[in-house]
Amino acid sequence: MKKLAVVAFGGNALLKAGQKGTIDEQEHNVLETCENLLELIKKDYNLVITHGNGPQVGNILLQNIAGAKIFGVPEMPLDICGAYSQGLIGYMIEQQLRNILEKNNLEKDVITIVTEVLVDKNDPAFKKPTKPIGPFYSKEEADKMATETNATFAEDSAKRGWRKVVASPKPLTIGNRKSIERLAREGQIIIAVGGGGIPVFYVEPNKLQGIDAVIDKDLASALLATQISADEFFILTDVPKVFINFKKPNEQALDVLNIEDAKKYLAQGQFGAGSMGPKVKAAISFVEATGKEAIITEASQLKNPEAGTRIVK
């Protein structure tokens, strides 16, 4: 049987540091990332692609606010904005990936599935918002917006500015997981769990409702990979391997990392909470649940069979 892989696109797959986020910029970035997926497609992998949406959903929220103030257009809640972002990003990935497939005489359908993810409304994360979304602001801008909108803002760990933060509950169940797996195993390329999925909860038995939160996309991707019995889980980022003592004189790249050492390094603060930390936690989650391997690497490294850092049991 062909291997089924879940590939989680990092933020730089859509928007690179310093870019404004124009459609031309994002389409170019997506094209570059998707070109690297050719290596997996040619190796006969079945693929499910996931992606982040932080800047995009943040911009949608800003457009919401501006539309309400200027034109009186009703504002949409965060879960609806997340659904918007899944559609627009899925469209970009579908189109650029289809361009690459046609250029290489490969015939596959590329299908975006707007994905709901079940969370617990009593998750303690709702009492302490931590997930950054949207653009960076100065302290003065953040304070002004917090007063006007009752939103919570926090300073970025890398001191790049202040960002809105929302709750980040634990994902419990991926919606449409059976269909995602079936379509992928039939050979179609599926785009799902965009931005970590749309968080929903049971407001009462048998009645789902969206909730104001953002699920960590790496953790949701790991859960998807687990629930569809994926053979491999790739997390793409902007560095070729996981490092300890990153950007220090004693920096060390890790070829293989077992979950015991991974947890030890996390406890030591080796992996940034807003960068590599969530990726390592997601890899641990997949490996612990399945006994299989997760790979953290840069998209361009997929050509190398020894690419990245392999997280193993």
Q: What is the pLDDT of residue 107?
A: 94
State mean pLDDT over 224-251: 96
Look at domain 4-112+169-312 and name its CATH class: alpha beta
Which residue out of 82, 131, 194, 281 is catalytically annotated? 131
Task: Indicate if 217 belongs to the active site.
Answer: yes
The tens digit of pLDDT for each residue in 271-311 reads 998 789 999 999 999 999 999 999 999 999 998 888 899 99
Q: How far apart are CA 165 and CA 171, in angstroms?
A: 18
Task: Indicate if 12 belongs to the active site.
Answer: yes
What is the domain partition of the chain in residue ranges? 4-112+169-312
Task: Indicate if 108 belongs to the active site.
Answer: no
Q: What is the pLDDT of residue 143?
A: 96
Which residue out of 164, 241, 279, 281 is catalytically annotated? 279
Task: Indicate if 131 belongs to the active site.
Answer: yes
Q: What is the pLDDT of residue 267?
A: 97
- Does the model's pTM come out above 0.75? yes
Which residue out of 10, 11, 54, 308 is catalytically annotated? 11
The tens digit of pLDDT for each residue in 94-125 reads 999 999 999 999 999 999 999 999 999 999 99
How far from 24 is each of 12, 15, 250, CA to CA, in Å?
14, 11, 39
Which residue out of 52, 58, 194, 217 is catalytically annotated? 217
Q: How far apart are CA 60 and CA 134, in angstroms?
A: 9
Contact 286, 232 (CB under 8 A): no
Q: What percent of the chain has pLDDT over 70?
A: 100
The tens digit of pLDDT for each residue in 72-88 reads 999 899 999 999 999 99
Which residue out of 12, 46, 53, 64 is catalytically annotated? 12
Asked whether residue 206 carries a pLDDT value surpassing 90, the answer given is yes
213 — phi, psi (to 5°)?
Answer: -165, 170
124 — phi, psi (to 5°)?
Answer: -60, -15
Task: Indicate if 18 belongs to the active site.
Answer: no
